[in-house]
Chains A and B, each alone.
Chain A
Amino acid sequence: MRILMTTALAAAVSAASLSGANAQDKELTLCWAAWDPANALVELSKDFTAKTGIGMNFEFVPWTSFADRMLNELNSGGKLCDLMIGDSQWIGGGATYGHYVKLNDFFEKEGISMDDFLPATVNAYSTWPKGTPNYYALPAMGDALGWVYRKDWFERPEIQEAFKAEHGRDLGVPKNWTELREIAQFFQGREIDGKKVYGAAIYTERGSEGITMGVTAALYPWGFKYENTPGKYDMEGAVNSPEAVEALEFYKSMYETATPPGHSDAYMVANLDAYKSGQVAMQMNWFAFFPGIAKDEAVGGDVSGFFANPSQNVEGSTLGGQGISVVSYSDKQEEALEYIKWFAQPDVQAKWWALGGYSCHVAVAGADDFAESTPFAGEFLKAMGSVKDFWQEPIYAELLQAMQKRVHDYVVADQGTAQEALDKLIEDWTISFEDDGKL
């Protein structure tokens, strides 16, 4: 009997240790872009490992090659990523081509409600087709394009006087794009602390998505629309409307008169570098970088101020941000869903925001004290209230490349007119939609 008991005990102990070992052995790989919020997520995910015993690996790729690398991975049915924090525009392809697991049943089973997340983020990051309750991601990282300015320069009496003498109004946060350009032009070539500075660092990158994100930051406030009727792909008169032409001309004038020399292929990092090195008075960049800027040794604290994308005819901001999805080719879907369940909890979301990630959870972003929690939180909420995204069609990459070419040809290479650029863009997009069977 004693032998039997001892054997049973030994078996129980070894089974327990084996199951513990199995939990320890389980590992998930999460794929995302390499940037500041990714480091915050690494920190946050340690709690997940501590709670579940599931280890976390991370595959972070620089933004300029992120889409290339990860879309190839998804298109080839690769098993590298169990969880994907894919860009908002990927949701159409992710759902249509079966890269992402549909999460409706899982949300229902686990009591995760999309009403607990900001409506704009649910619509942009989770649903396909747009506006339908078909969820392929949980809103993970809210983001929009905003602006950072040298508050310390703006507050200097001699600079304020010079600006007032030139423009007849006080120097302050611009209310619209016209004021934004005036301020940028005012600083262009000005000497501050014995150093020549420039107006604004704007997006002009050609290779991935940079100039499109920058140009749309001007197009949306002018009232730009992709289609006259949503879902009809009738672009004539919308994409090349007089307002769109004016906005594109305006962006070109910003590039020509208010940016530093050599700023012809600049995206996030180039803008950050230009700003942190004291070269420019303002930069456009994603809100995701603002926690890092606020803490920066050179430009953090009271040195910098933040504002949402200025309006012009209407309010409008370019949407950034991503949802987190389970990759359908993963062998560890159960564990990946476990991670999403854990990530959706309000206390985890609160810590996510505290670490530098932008929570989309209403319990965090909708809290009364959220707007005052950081110098940029209020502006973030303002921006998220008027965000617009690029096409989220399955063929978005093709549509994006066409826009990259047409607007870079016009804005940076000075070829043709804004009207011609947008007319050609419609031609390109029409061919793409015809090939895709949408037209």
Chain B
Amino acid sequence: MTDQTIQRIASDTPNVAPGFVQRVRGLSDRAVAWLFIGPTLAILLAINIFPLIWTVYLSFTNYRANQPGREVKWVGTRNYERLLGSEDIWGYLQATAHFVVWTMVLQVLIGFGLALLINRNFRGASFWTTLILIPMMLSPAVVGTFWTYIYQPQTGIFSYIIDFFAGTGAIDMIGSVTLAPWAIIIVDTWMWAPYIMLLCLAGLRSIPDYLYEAAEIDRANALQKFWYITLPRVLPFLMLAVLFRGIENFKMFDMVVELTSGGPGSTTELASINLKREAFEKWRTGFSSAFAIILFVTVFGLGNIYVKALNKVKS
């Protein structure tokens, strides 16, 4: 910002104290820039960076937030050792990985498939698009609750439909160790495949028609057009959608708590659910801080690798 610009702004602004212009005029461009980004930076430090550093510190202590008067002792790496040596923690991480991987696979397949269908611009396409998008507009807690009724083995529609077509009898999706992990995957896919569809649709609609026309001239078949035009053009959108959903599902909490409470046993106890239990039910703040750091490093590391891959695809 030049001095002339500052003067112009100041002169255009009514009721500015006379000293202000001079004070601003005395500042360098760099100082003015700091003036603008300073408050944002301060807020960022206060609510993001400081808590992160504080969490790292707490992860090496025996601190409990519900016992403010208790002596806080430095316990070294004990919390990390307990975490990494615990079969239960590895179980929660495995459950989380199973959930994230399968929801991503199913949501990409279904979301992309739906986007290809909707992109055909058939009659009533707008209506169907709106209808498909409804699940992602609902609250996850509400979705979790009403799917417990849908999955109810005696009165739920899900069990009835499966029994009607496959003659399985009543199936207990939530109470079965084998089925419960799939129960939460199905609900999440039902809810969020439309989101993937939406981003893919944006990608599909950004592909210029002349590319397909040129392919027609070159006598490319449908599969070749899909492989060489559609997929590469949509891939950055798809990868972005997977990044967003992957991070969200790594942190999944509300829907699963309402649906299964992490059960049966600990079958669907995802990392976030256990983290909440450690932090705010057991009040093992130091231990849960260490768990949070491990999860943060995992998501941050995987996210970085993924973003690099995404940039590569884009370029």
Contacts and interface: CB of A to CB of B under 8 A. Distances in A.
Interface of A: 67-68, 71-72, 75, 93, 97, 205-207, 260-265, 394-395, 397-398, 401, 405, 408-410, 412-415, 431, 435
28 contacts: A75-B66, A97-B67, A205-B261, A206-B260, A206-B262, A206-B263, A206-B264, A261-B153, A261-B175, A262-B153, A262-B154, A263-B175, A264-B263, A264-B264, A397-B283, A398-B281, A398-B282, A398-B284, A401-B277, A405-B265, A405-B266, A408-B265, A408-B266, A409-B265, A412-B263, A412-B264, A415-B177, A415-B265
A144 B30 CA distance: 71
Contact of A413 (B62, B66, B261, B267): B267
Contacts of B260: 206, 265
A409 B282 contact: no
Contacts of B66: 71, 75, 93, 97
Instruction: Specify which of A67, A262, A263, A412 lies most central, judged by the most chain B CB atoms within 10 Å of its CB.
Output: A262
A219 B88 CA distance: 25
Contacts of A414: 177, 265
A67 B281 CA distance: 9
Interface residues of B, number: 31
Contacts of A398: 281-284
Contacts of A72: 280
Nearest to A198: B154
Interface in B61-94: 62, 65-67, 69, 82, 88
Nearest to A98: B69
A264 B172 contact: yes
Closest 8 interchain pairs by CB? A413-B265, A264-B175, A207-B261, A409-B265, A398-B282, A206-B263, A262-B153, A75-B66
A262 B175 contact: yes
Contacts of A263: 175
A43 B56 CA distance: 51
A264 B180 CA distance: 11
A260 B154 contact: yes
A401 B280 contact: no
Nearest to A410: B265
B24 interface: no
Contacts of A260: 154
A75 B70 CA distance: 13
A93 B283 CA distance: 12
Contacts of A401: 277, 281-282
B155 to A, nearest CB: 9
B174 A397 contact: no
